[in-house]
Amino acid sequence: MTETRVLLIEDEPNIIDAIRFILSREGWRVDTSSDGGNALEAVRSRNPDLVILDVMLPNRSGYDILSDMRADEAMRDIPVMMLTARGQQKDKELAERLGVNKFMTKPFSNAEMLANARELVRR
Amino acid sequence: MSRSLRAGTRIRNSRMALGMKQAELARACGISASYLNLIEHNRRRIGGSLLLRIAEALGADPSTIGEGAEAALLTSLDSAAGKHVEAAAERDRADELASRFPGWARLIGVQFRENARLEQVVERLDDRLTHDPFLSASMHNVLTSVTAIRSASGILAGGDSVEPEWQRRFARNIHEDSQRLADATGSLVDYLDAEADDRGTGSLPQDEVEKWLIKRGWKIDELERDAAAPIAAIVDGADEIRTLAAQDLAHGYLAQYAADAVAIPKPPLEDALGKTDEPLVLADMLGAPLPTLFRRLVTLASDALPDQGSFGLVGCDASGTLTYRKPLPDFDLPRYGGACPLWPLFRVGQQPMMPVRETLAMRGRDDYLFDVHAVAEIAHPLGFGGPAVMTSWMLIREWPRSREANRILRAGTTCRVCSEADCPARREPSVFSTLSDERL
């Protein structure tokens, strides 16, 4: 059985710590990227089973990264769970239009985040 | 029902009160009796010189025929009915309601105006919450800190064993994030308290400059007396201007003001206004470009403009960002977000130096009409080698209530507070439509 690989694209170190810890307990490998400018290259090179993507990142927004992923054949089918502090309906609608698989508004619970991540990697 | 239709009823009432025959009044005004009959039965529009002739023949003030308290009430009733078409109010019988139940009619009018006022408040607050950079950044900080604390504390309190090293790490993270949360909420409270007390410096440098200009009535007496007066001294004396960025903006504003005052001194401007209020003619008479004239007109106090009323002015750069804001009471200008894309202000950028005039009705504002003139100018401050800098301007004044408007452009302030559901230019949902959906 192959190891589940998650790429966490988030710039808040303490949120990275928490998510990394929770997903590592599942036996998953968690890589991180903290800069929006390098995120796409990180997705391309690691080819993860799941991308957890923050919206407000340095240098590039999560929406732009998602849009480019969906336009690239190699990354088009990778499930993406988005995390954002902006939970307005229009933000969610934009993410859905761009092809997000799960949209989570901060603050979220660990259980909710983990349940969504499990669902996406089982696809 | 238009203003002219109501004017017909008032003409008929005034004539009958004088015991004057229709043919008599028609003769005195130089029109046929049959035409007057159509006017009196609200089947023909009336305005301009004919309204003045009829008022003169009736010995009445034109404003009591063209307008007046009753007309204002009927306007409110009609606007209320127009805004809530689902109520199927009998719009053609508003006259009857106002005459049979004047108190109830007034109540509807008062409530409609109060709703419009509250919508304006919502508009300003929403504009601010959505686009105020300080509030937005603070809320992001708060939510990020809360998320990190919730996740870390959830791990520690979750019941599963956590290695001592991770326990220490999460405890340290919680400490850091709770400190950050305390700082973010503290500064947020200070900011809101300062705003509530009106003691704050404002969230943006533009707010500081605007407060100062409002206090001065948009007029800089020092530069009116002597356009070469030292600008630095004027800025230094302004208590409202505290930040360096605001000082910089104020310097730019005053430099432009001084140049405009040289181009169009106040005495010839007031003389010219005594002859015409048509901006293109005024600009021609004064030998100055329209944007200069617009900026000079807003410096005139409303008591100097008995016929024209006070002016509002909005300017924007090529990105559509509003760079100059002098609102009128019923014509709000958004501070932080984008304005209504239907404003002629944004259209004139497509054809610089080509002026556009429109009669604008602001949605949700009791259908108040505004006479707006817009024009865009292009400057090349760095010569051929540098970029072209475009600025668009829109002069705003109330449309005279006694004058008929042939073509009306319906617009709003900004999409988020505009109730026009089918607007083809809408770029985001309205908070009012969201509220309606929630009520359903």
Identify the pLDDT of residue B159: 78
Residues 6+ apart with CB under 8 A from B51: B7, B62, B65, B66, B402
The 10 Å CB-count burial string (b at 16+, else e) for A49-62 is bbbbbbbbbeebeb
Ranges A34-43, B35-44, B147-156, B305-314: which has the least confidence: B305-314
Reply yes or no on whether the pLDDT at B197 is more than 90.
no
Backbone dihedral angles phi then psi of residue B151, each to the nearest 5 degrees: -65, -45
Pair of tokens at residue B346: 């944004």
Which residues from A are below 8 Å from B177, CB to CB? 14
Q: What is the mean pLDDT of residues B128-149?
A: 80
B74: closest CA among B47, B93, B50, B52?
B93
Confidence of residue B222 (pLDDT cuts 50, 70, 90): very high
Reply yes or no on whether the pLDDT at A52 is more than 90.
yes
Identify the pLDDT of residue B199: 41
Identify the pLDDT of residue B294: 96
- Mean pLDDT of all residues belonging to chain B: 82
User: Cβ(B304)–Cβ(B383) under 8 Å?
Assistant: no
Identify the pLDDT of residue B434: 42
Which CATH number does the domain B3-118 belong to among 1.10.3430.10, 1.10.260.40, 3.40.605.10, 3.40.50.1820? 1.10.260.40
Cβ distance B155 to A110 less than 8 Å, yes or no, reads yes
B16: closest CA among B67, B54, B45, B58?
B58
Ranges A13-17, B7-11, B249-253: which has the least confidence: B7-11
Domain ranges of chain B: 3-118, 133-197, 209-263
The residue among B71 and B205 whose pLDDT is bigger is B205
Pair of tokens at residue B371: 């006479």
Cβ distance A90 to B429 less than 8 Å, yes or no, reads yes
Q: What is the mean pLDDT of residues B96-122?
A: 82
Cis bond upstream, residue A107 (ω within 30): yes
The boundaries of the domain holding residue A46 are 5-121
Beta partners for B362? Answer: B411
Over the stretch B316-326, which tens digit does the pLDDT of each residue have? 999 998 999 99
Identify the pLDDT of residue A34: 93
- Contact of A90 with chain B, judged by CB distance below 8 Å, is answered with yes
Residues 6+ apart with CB under 8 A from B220: B234, B254, B257, B299
- Contact of B276 with chain A, judged by CB distance below 8 Å, is answered with no
Question: What is the C-alpha to C-alpha distance for residues B157 and A45, in angstroms, rounded to an integer?
Answer: 36
Burial class (CB in 10 A: 0-12, 13-18, 19+), A73: exposed
Which domain CATH number covers A73? 3.40.50.2300
Question: What is the C-alpha to C-alpha distance for residues B173 and B65, in angstroms, rounded to an integer?
Answer: 73
Q: What is the mean pLDDT of residues B302-329?
A: 80
> Percent of chain B, pLDDT > 90?
33
Reply yes or no on whether the pLDDT at B365 is more than 80.
no
Reply yes or no on whether the pLDDT at A104 is more than 50.
yes
| Closest chain B CA to residue A110 | B151
Nearest-Cα distance to chain A for B419, in Å, is 17
DSSP type of residue B328 = B
* Helix, strand, coil shares, percent, chain B, to 5: 55, 10, 35
The residue among A87 and B436 whose pLDDT is bigger is A87
Which residues from B are below 8 Å from A111, CB to CB? 154
Reply yes or no on whether the pLDDT at A40 is more than 70.
yes
Pair of tokens at residue B10: 């008032």
Smallest Cβ–Cβ distance between B154 and the set A85, A106, A109 belongs to A109
Nearest-Cα distance to chain A for B148, in Å, is 5
Number of domains composing chain A: 1
Confidence of residue B49 (pLDDT cuts 50, 70, 90): low
Smallest Cβ–Cβ distance between A17 and the set B146, B173, B428 belongs to B173
Q: How many Cβ atoms are within 10 Å of B100's Cβ, its own excluded?
A: 10
- Contact of B166 with chain A, judged by CB distance below 8 Å, is answered with yes
Over the stretch B415-434, which tens digit does the pLDDT of each residue have? 877 777 788 898 877 765 54
Which residues from A are below 8 Å from B146, CB to CB? 106-107
The residue among B63 and B234 whose pLDDT is bigger is B234
Identify the pLDDT of residue B240: 85
Identify the pLDDT of residue B327: 86
Cβ-based contacts under 8 A for chains A and B: 60
> Percent of chain B, pLDDT > 70?
84
Q: What is the mean pLDDT of residues B16-35?
A: 86
A35-44, B5-14, B123-132, range with greatest mean pLDDT: A35-44
Which residues from A are below 8 Å from B151, CB to CB? 15, 18-19, 22, 110, 113
Residues 6+ apart with CB under 8 A from B354: B348, B375, B376
Which residues from B are below 8 Å from A15, CB to CB? 144, 147-148, 151
- The side-by-side arrangement of strands in the sheet containing B369-379 is B322-326, B312-317, B389-398, B369-379, B356-362, B408-411
- Contact of B160 with chain A, judged by CB distance below 8 Å, is answered with yes
**Residue B97 amino acid letter:** L
- Contact of B158 with chain A, judged by CB distance below 8 Å, is answered with yes
Reply yes or no on whether the pLDDT at A91 is more than 90.
no
Nearest-Cα distance to chain A for B162, in Å, is 10
Over the stretch B170-184, which tens digit does the pLDDT of each residue have? 999 999 999 889 888
Residues 6+ apart with CB under 8 A from B412: B340, B342, B362, B363, B364, B418, B419, B420, B423
Identify the pLDDT of residue B225: 92
- Contact of A26 with chain B, judged by CB distance below 8 Å, is answered with no
| Closest chain B CA to residue A19 | B151
H helix count then E strand count, chain B: 19, 6
Q: Which of B144, B153, B180 to mutate to test the interface with A (most CBs of A within 10 A)?
A: B144
Crossing angle of helices B290-297 and B266-273, rounded to 10°: 90
B297: closest CA among B322, B266, B334, B263?
B266
Identify the pLDDT of residue A59: 87
Question: DSSP letters of B111-133?
Answer: HHHHHHHHHHHHHHHHHHHHH-H
Residues 6+ apart with CB under 8 A from A112: A104
Smallest Cβ–Cβ distance between B140 and the set A14, A85, A89 belongs to A85
Pair of tokens at residue B351: 């054809």
Identify the pLDDT of residue B64: 66
Question: DSSP letters of B157-172?
Answer: TSSS---HHHHHHHHH
Nearest-Cα distance to chain B for A108, in Å, is 7
